[in-house]
Amino acid sequence: MVLSLKIDKKEVFRYLGYGANMPDDNIDKIIGECVDLLKNNAREDYVYEIFDMSLEENVIIDGGLTLLGSDIAKHLANCERVAILGATLGREVDVLLRRYSKTEASRAIVLHACATALIEDVCDNAEEEIKKKASENGYYITTRYSPGYGDLPLEHQAQIINILKSDKKIGLTVTENSLLVPSKSVTAIIGFTKQEAECKKGCKFCSNYSTCKFKKE
């Protein structure tokens, strides 16, 4: 699936650590150039599957996945189904990042921020599609929750890749160290619940809010 590219500059500024401040004209110019690079090289793909789930000692997903950790159990409390999502910008973006990290480190940093903002937009688009399907069946959805958040083990990445068959569908794989390849990729779990009050949005509801340097104030 190829989507129209959209990069929120405010998100790029946040990932670069500017907070409420504005970068100078030179940085703004480099951001524009990095956006153009991504327009010509990024492949905005995602895949997801929806499964029934139950909550026992851990979260049990019918596709053959058991999610460990108390944080994901709390996140999916009162949920009946989950969507498992994988998204990527493709390998060409990794080629760009490697090239600029060797030849122009400052531009590589900006390119990283732009690509991070873009993969989040891809996930947002996927989430909107999932939200529509959930709503059609009388559900609300939770926010996305990814391996590595809270106490949800990063090692679940390999199981998610396997359950989605994302290596064959969109070229999204995982290393022995549980790192996604291509690097600008995301996996996430989204719960389906009948209880609207469970669907808290925004950084302040995240268990990592107090320590995250990229949080939205």
Band of pLDDT at residue 47, cut at 50, 70 and 90? very high
Q: Which pLDDT score, from 0 to 100, does residue 5 have?
A: 66
Per-residue model confidence (pLDDT) at position 4: 57
Rounded to two decimals, the pTM is 0.87
Judged on CB neighbours under 10 Å (0-12, 13-18, 19+), 173 is middle
Position 214 pLDDT exceeds 80: no
Sign of CA dihedral 60, 84, 88, 45: positive
Confidence of residue 203 (pLDDT cuts 50, 70, 90): low
Q: Which residues contact 58 (CB under 8 A, 6 or more apart)?
A: 66, 67, 68, 69, 73
Q: Specify the pLDDT at position 179.
A: 97
Q: Report the pLDDT value the prediction gives residue 3, as an integer from 0 to 100.
A: 43
Please give the Cα distance from 61 to 81 (Å, whole number).
8
| Over residues 70-90, mean pLDDT | 96
Give the residue-averaged pLDDT of 134-140.
Answer: 96
Q: What pLDDT sits at residue 1?
A: 40
Average pLDDT across the chain, whole number:
89
Contacts of 183 (CB under 8 A, 6+ apart): 93, 94, 97
Question: 212, 195, 202, 208: which is closest to 78 by C-alpha?
Answer: 195
Residue 202 tokens, joined:
């925004």
Q: What pLDDT, on the 0 to 100 scale, is given for residue 126?
A: 97
The answer to whether 36 and 118 have CB atoms below 8 angstroms apart is no
Nearest to 158 by CA among 86, 59, 208, 101: 86
The CATH number of the structural domain formed by 9-197 is 3.40.109.40
